[in-house]
A and B are shown apart, each in its own frame.
Chain A
C-alpha cells in the first residue's frame, strides 16, 4: 500500500511538473524560442527544439495518465530530467556564454538551483522505477 502511494505521488509530481512546463512554454512560444536561441548549444536548432521539448513533455503526461504505460512514462521522465541536468552542466561548465535559465517559475532559480531541482526529480524517477518494478515482480510471483 505504501509502495503504491509513493509511486502515485511521484507520478503526480511529474505530471504537474511536465504539464506546467509544457503549457508555459507553449503559451509564450516566442519567448521560449528566443531563450533557446540564446543558448550556444541549441541556437542552431532552436526552432526544432522549441516544439519538440513541449511535445515530448505532453506525451509523457499522457503516458502517465494511461496507467498501463506508467513504467514507460517513468523511463521517459528519467531520460528527460537527466538530459536537462546534463545540459545545465555542459552550459555552465564548458560553455563560454551562459544564457538565462527559462521555464516559468523556474526562471527565478539560478542555474545551480535548477540543477539541484532536476537531480531531485531524477532521483524520484529512479525510486519510482525501482518500486514499480518490484511491485510488478511480486505480482508475477503471486500469479505463478
Chain B
C-alpha cells in the first residue's frame, strides 16, 4: 500500500487593494502590542493615498464627533444670525417706507437723456451756467473742471483753485463763483471767465448757506445755536435780519433746508428739508409762504438729543426733500417719498423729481430720472430746460420736454 504524506494546509486570502481606494486603516499599520488593536494614525494620513476625497475639503465632516458638532454649531449660528438680521431689516424697512397719501402725475417722455459721461467718483457738481457745467472734487484739493452741456470731452477746461484754506465750499451762481467758509463767515467771489477770487468787502457773521445772483444781491442763512433760530440776512447789510423761521421741534434741524435764487422772480426760494413747505424771500427779507410740496408731511418727523452742548439727531429723520434747484419760474424737488400710485419696486430703480410753479406755488407734474449703475442722483441742476444729474462716477444731461406738458 502506498503511503500518502499529509499535505500542508494552504489558505488563500485575497488581500484588498491599498493603492487607490480609501480605507480607514492600512494593512501593516501600527498595532498596540498588548491589545493588537490598530493605533489611529495622524488625521491627514488617512487621506494620504486618495486622489480626491471630500475629507480633504471638509475635514470636519470626517473627523471626530465633537469636531463635527462644533462645525455644525458654528455654521448654523452664522446662518441663523445672517438670515434673522436680514429679515429684521426687511420688516423694519417696510414699516417705515409706507406709501404716502398723495398722487404723482407723470407726463410721457418728459425727460430725455441727451448725453452721458464717466467721471471720477469724487467729483461734485458745483453749478451750471447757460453753456457750461462746473465740477470739482469732494476734497476741493484739485481744480474746477468746466465742460459743455453736450459733455463733449473737447470742451473740458481746467481752472486752478485758490488756497484751500480760504474756503470749504464753492458754488456757481449766475456769472460768479462763490467760495465760502460759512462757520467763519468767509465769502470770496470770482467771475467765471477768469477765476481770481476776491474777498467780499463786508464782514459777515457765521452762516449756514448763501445764495444769490451776484455777491451784492445775495442772502445768507444764519443758524443761531443759542437762540435756536434760523434767520436770513443780506450780504450787503448783514445787520438787518429777517424774522425767524417757524420752529416746530428744535429750531435748528427742523428748519434745515435749501436756499436758491430765482432770476425771473428776483426772489430767493427756501424749501424745508423735513417738511412740505417752500417759501419766498424778497430783497427786503420778507418771508412769504409760497406753496406746499405734494407729500403729506406738514410737521418735521425727527428726534434730537442734546449732550455737552452738542445737538444731534437721535433717530433717522423722514427726509421730504433730498435735493432741489430753481430754474426760472420752476422749482425742481427730488423727493424720496413714495406716492400712492407708485410702485416701490419701480421707485427702487428711479429717482422722482417733482416740478412746481413758483408763480402760484402749485404742483405741476413729476418725472423719473433712472438710477445709473445702481446709484441714485447725488445732485442735480436745471438750466434752460436741461437737467444735469450727477451720479457717483457719472454725469448725465437730460432734455426736459416742457412742450410735451400741455398745461404750460
Residue numbers of A with Cβ under 8 A of B are: 30-31, 33-34, 37-41, 43-44, 46, 75, 78-79, 82-83, 86-87, 90, 94-97, 99, 126, 129-130, 133-134, 136-137
Contact = CB atoms under 8 A, between A and B. Distances in A.
27 contacts: A30-B305, A33-B314, A34-B314, A37-B303, A39-B316, A40-B93, A40-B316, A41-B88, A41-B92, A46-B315, A75-B77, A78-B74, A78-B77, A82-B77, A83-B81, A94-B93, A95-B89, A95-B93, A96-B336, A99-B316, A126-B74, A129-B74, A130-B70, A133-B67, A133-B70, A137-B66, A137-B67
A133 B65 CA distance: 10
B78 interface: yes
A41 B305 contact: no
B315 A37 contact: yes
B82 interface: yes
Interface string B355-397: 0000000000000000000000000000000000000000000
A134 B93 CA distance: 43
Contacts of B303: 37
Nearest to B67: A133
Contact of A130 (B67, B81, B89, B313): B67
A46 B303 CA distance: 13
Interface of B: 64, 66-67, 70, 73-74, 77-78, 81-82, 85-86, 88-89, 92-93, 96, 303, 305, 307, 312-316, 336
A96 B315 CA distance: 13
A120 to B, nearest CB: 16
A29 B38 CA distance: 61
A78 B275 CA distance: 44
Nearest to B304: A34
B70 A86 contact: no
Contact of B307 (A31, A82, A129, A133): A31
Contacts of B89: 41, 90, 94-95
A37 B305 contact: yes
A137 B92 contact: no
Given A75-B73, A90-B86, A40 B96 contact: yes
A83 B85 contact: yes
Contacts of A130: 67, 70
B66 A34 contact: no
Contact of B66 (A86, A87, A133): A133
Contacts of B312: 34, 38
B274 to A, nearest CB: 13
A83 B78 CA distance: 8
A46 B305 CA distance: 13
A45 to B, nearest CB: 9
Contact of B85 (A79, A86, A126): A86
A46 B92 CA distance: 13
Contacts of B85: 41, 83, 86-87, 90
A82 B305 CA distance: 30
